[in-house]
């Protein structure tokens, strides 16, 4: 994998909210088709990392690099068009819009009508339950169904990298496993996945590599297996004494 | 705190009792008024009517008069509805009430005044040229009002994006004064007359043999209905409309979809402004007079209509407009006159705002409104 070029990269990224220094000299790289995860407690800078990758937060120094191009000053839409998208925390569907409209908005920037149709069909076959509820308002769906629509909406952008913000947040425990199976399934279609997760055990068991973020600094950067075996990490994230 | 949001089991406070009293009082007034109205229609000389009218019999409403009131209410309400759409759309997307929206409507009326008089001087305001001339005037008014709304957003509101909602709200009152005074400066403080409409528009014509309507009111109702349909189609069926609804629900996620949020906000102002412009020219054609303060009362009424229908809800804005126009037109003669109120027809404005209070007392979210979550309420 290391002989490939990364799709998305952070080079010495620093961000501030006002006077507060959030991300400190963060370096990340996401390669095509891999599954990586970012672990960290509350206020460690996970959400800021995602927002900076997508251009919703502008770094104060350092470079966000997309396919070798520095995109610091490019808007979100520019990055979405080039294959980056996100399944946001708590899904954040457009609740008053129908399920179909939510999916269509995922493909808002796409001009290839045939491709959009094909992807809709693909999502219907992935999530037959979604197809049954196309004309329903998204806010009326159950949590699990909403999660499917949120993933479907992200897939409609035809991404190469899918960012996932706390995918198991707010889901019933019984759904968490199904959810990770879905992520696995998406990953198997060749889409790179960058997952931010509290459920470190589950995330690391799927991912190839991972980073641990602590108060805005990357403190660990290793393969998932090594991280799983790391005693420090086991202590702080996997709930072992 | 109203009873509607009072926690279950909490005891009623004095305010709750007062609100309950207001609800009961207003609803009883309506019920008694209606009963008195039906009673006087059956027997103008009944005891209640004689008591309320100092011993005289009540004036009954003939069928034609009643139909006339309905039509007047409908045409007035259609214009309120058109203006209300702008309030509601901007509220939906930005969460503040643009009190200068009434001026956008007034600018439409003034543009119509200029256009109509110029066309009249050139001899196009009559005969066969009238219809194309009116259509052209409507188009120009729409565009000018649209431009006014867009410039307003760019100059006055965009710099305030992200500030607390009270700030753009107060700014909008300032913008309103600014536009009113700019118009006084340009055209003087007096009322400006439209040229007379051709006779065939002034004449009453029969519709399916059921009701006689002045031609101009038919025009108002038809143009308003077509505009509302066009707006509905735009918002519900087009890609931009979908983007607009997405932005009004969640700006951050909308931009994650690749939607240009700023452009969508401008579109919202433009479309709302266009509707107000159409209402402005219709108002001018119907009442044939505009003045710098023309936008004030219809603006406030349209805002009322938007709240009555459920602010942020477009169908609600239209329904609220028609409901308000209808109430203004019918209530004085169907409720107040039978109760013996003198000069009831002068009380249209009181009726409109009483309706607002009534709806807020009984269904605070408006007729079609959804309950706002606490974060939307700021």
Distance of CA B346 to the CA centre of its chain: 19
pLDDT tens, position by position, B27-37: 999 999 999 99
Is residue B88 within a helix (H) or strand (E), and if so which, with residue range? helix B63-94
What pLDDT is stored for residue A83 in this prediction?
Answer: 92
- Give domain status of residue B2, yes or no: no
Cα–Cα dist A86/B257, whole Å: 9
Which pLDDT does position B7 carry in this prediction?
57
- Give the up-direction half-sphere exposure of residue B348: CA atoms within 13 A in the CB hemisphere: 16
Backbone φ and ψ for A142, nearest 5 degrees, come out as -75, 165
- Of residues B250, B260, B370, nearest to A94 (C-beta): B250
d(CA B358, CA B354): 6
Q: pLDDT tens digits for B104-133?
A: 999 999 999 999 999 999 999 988 889 999
d(CA A104, CA A86): 15
pTM: 0.89
Whether residue B307 is contained in a domain is answered as yes
pLDDT band at A239; cut points 50, 70, 90: low
Q: How confident is the model at residue B340 (pLDDT cuts 50, 70, 90)?
A: confident
Question: Under an 8 Å CB criterion, which residues of B touch A?
Answer: 239, 242-243, 245-246, 249-250, 252-260, 370
Measuring CA to CA, which residue among B307, B327, B322 is closest to residue B368? B307
pLDDT band for A182, please (50, 70, 90 cuts): confident
* Both tokens assigned to A189: 């279609």
The reply to whether B130 falls in a domain is yes
> Any idea where the domains of chain A sit in the sequence?
1-83+194-241
Q: Please report whether residue B348 resides in a domain.
A: yes
Q: Give the closest-approach CA distance of A63 to chain B in angstroms.
A: 20
Which helix (H) or strand (E) element contains residue A136? none
Contacts of A111 (CB under 8 A, 6+ apart): none
Asked if residue B80 lies in contact with residue B325, where contact means CB atoms within 8 angstroms, the answer is yes
Domain encompassing residue B350 = 61-377
Domain contains B256? yes
Higher pLDDT, B80 or B375: B80
Burial A101-112 (b: 16+ CB within 10 A, else e): bbbbbbbbbbee
Partner-chain contact B258 A108, CB within 8 Å: yes
Q: What's the first-to-final CA gap in chain A, in angstroms?
A: 35
Give a yes or no: residue B279 inside a domain: yes
Averaged pLDDT, A12-41: 92
Q: How many residues does chain A have?
A: 241
DSSP category for residue B158: G
Q: What are the φ and ψ backbone dihedral angles of B164, each rounded to 5 degrees? A: -55, 150
Say if the Cβ atoms of B249 and A106 lie within 8 Å: no
Chain A residues with CB under 8 Å of B255 CB are 56, 75-77
- As a whole number of angstroms, the distance between CA B221 and CA B217 comes to 6
The CATH number linked to B156 is 1.10.3470
Q: For B237-246, how does the pLDDT look when each residue is reduced to its tens digit (9 = 90+)? A: 999 999 999 9
| Residue A154 tokens, joined | 């992200």
Cα(A230)–Cα(A241) distance, integer angstroms: 13
CB contact under 8 A, B256 and A105: no
DSSP tag of A6 = P
Specify the pLDDT at position B291.
95
B10 versus A75: the higher-pLDDT residue is A75
Q: Tell if the CB–CB gap between B245 and A81 is shorter than 8 Å.
A: no
pLDDT at B374: 41
Pick the range with the lowest mean pLDDT from A30-34, A66-70, A168-172, A183-187: A168-172
Q: Is residue B278 part of a domain?
A: yes
Architecture of domain A1-83+194-241: 3-Layer(aba) Sandwich (3.40)
DSSP state of B377: G
Residue-level pLDDT at B1: 42
How far is B271 from B151, CA to CA, in rounded Å? Answer: 13
Confirm if A35 and A208 have CB atoms less than 8 A apart. yes
Q: What is the ipTM of this complex?
A: 0.88
Q: How many domains does chain B have?
A: 1
Average pLDDT over residues B55-74: 84
Contact B278, B223 (CB under 8 A): yes
* pLDDT tier at B375, thresholds 50, 70, 90: very low
pLDDT classification of B8: cutoffs 50, 70, 90: low
At A138, the pLDDT band (50, 70, 90 cuts) reads very high
Of residues B209, B235, B321, the one with CA closest to residue B276: B321
| pLDDT (mean) for B70-95 | 94
Report the pLDDT value the prediction gives residue B55, as an integer from 0 to 100. 74
Q: Is the confidence at residue B376, as pLDDT, over 50? A: no
């Amino acid at each position: 994998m290391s002989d490939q070029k990364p799709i998305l990269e952070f080079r010495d990224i620093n961000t501030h909210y006002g006077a507060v220094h959030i991300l400190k000299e963060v370096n990340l790289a996401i390669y095509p088709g891999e599954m990586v995860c970012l672990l960290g407690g509350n206020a460690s800078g996970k959400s800021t990392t995602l927002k900076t990758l997508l251009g919703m937060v502008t770094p104060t120094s350092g470079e966000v690099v997309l396919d070798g191009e520095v995109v610091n000053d490019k808007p979100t839409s520019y990055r979405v068009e080039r294959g980056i998208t996100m399944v946001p925390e708590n899904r954040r569907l457009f609740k008053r819009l129908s399920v179909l409209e939510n999916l269509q908005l995922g493909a808002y920037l796409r001009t290839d009508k045939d491709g959009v149709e094909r992807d809709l069909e693909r999502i219907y076959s992935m999530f037959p339950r979604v197809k049954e509820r196309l004309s329903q308002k998204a806010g009326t769906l159950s949590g699990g169904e909403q999660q499917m629509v949120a993933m479907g909406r992200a897939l409609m952008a035809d991404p190469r990298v899918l960012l996932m913000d706390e995918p198991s947040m707010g889901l019933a425990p019984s759904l968490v496993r199904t959810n990770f199976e879905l992520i696995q399934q998406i990953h198997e279609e060749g889409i790179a996945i960058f997952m931010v997760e509290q459920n470190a055990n589950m995330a690391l068991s799927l991912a190839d590599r991972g980073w641990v973020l602590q108060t805005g600094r990357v403190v660990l950067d290793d393969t998932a297996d090594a991280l799983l075996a790391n005693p420090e990490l086991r202590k702080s994230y996997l709930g072992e004494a | 705190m109203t009873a509607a949001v009072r926690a279950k089991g909490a005891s009623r406070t004095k305010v709750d009792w007062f609100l309950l009293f207001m609800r009961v009082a207003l609803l009883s007034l309506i019920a008694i008024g209606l009963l008195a109205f039906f009673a006087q229609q059956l027997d103008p000389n009944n005891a209640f009517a004689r008591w309320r009218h100092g011993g005289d019999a009540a004036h009954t409403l003939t069928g034609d008069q009643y139909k006339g009131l309905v039509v007047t209410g409908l045409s007035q309400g259609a214009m309120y509805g058109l203006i209300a759409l702008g309030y509601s759309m901007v509220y939906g997307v930005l969460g503040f009430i643009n009190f200068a929206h009434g001026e956008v409507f007034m600018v439409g009326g003034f543009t119509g005044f200029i256009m109509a008089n110029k066309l009249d001087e050139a001899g196009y305001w009559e005969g066969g040229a009238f219809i194309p001339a009116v259509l052209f005037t409507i188009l120009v008014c729409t565009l000018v009002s649209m431009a006014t709304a867009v410039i307003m957003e760019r100059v006055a509101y965009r710099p305030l994006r992200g500030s607390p909602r009270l700030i753009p709200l107060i700014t909008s009152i300032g913008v309103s004064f600014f536009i009113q005074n700019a118009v006084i400066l340009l055209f003087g403080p007096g009322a400006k007359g439209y040229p007379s409409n051709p006779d065939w528009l002034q004449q009453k014509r029969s519709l399916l043999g059921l009701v006689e309507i002045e031609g101009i009111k038919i025009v108002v109702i038809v143009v308003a209905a077509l505009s509302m349909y066009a707006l509905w189609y735009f918002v519900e069926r087009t890609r931009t409309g979908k983007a607009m609804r997405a932005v009004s629900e969640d700006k951050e996620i909308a931009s994650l979809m690749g939607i240009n949020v700023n452009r969508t906000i401008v579109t919202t102002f433009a479309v709302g402004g266009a509707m107000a412009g159409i209402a402005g020219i219709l108002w001018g054609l119907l009442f044939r007079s505009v003045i710098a303060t023309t936008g004030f009362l219809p603006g406030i009424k349209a805002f009322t209509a938007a709240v009555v229908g459920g602010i942020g809800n477009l169908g609600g804005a239209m329904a609220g407009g028609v409901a308000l126009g209808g109430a203004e037109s019918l209530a004085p003669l169907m409720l107040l006159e039978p109760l013996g109120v003198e000069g009831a027809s002068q009380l249209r404005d009181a009726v409109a705002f009483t309706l607002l209070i009534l709806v807020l007392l009984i269904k605070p979210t408006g007729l079609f409104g959804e309950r706002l979550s606490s974060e939307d309420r700021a």
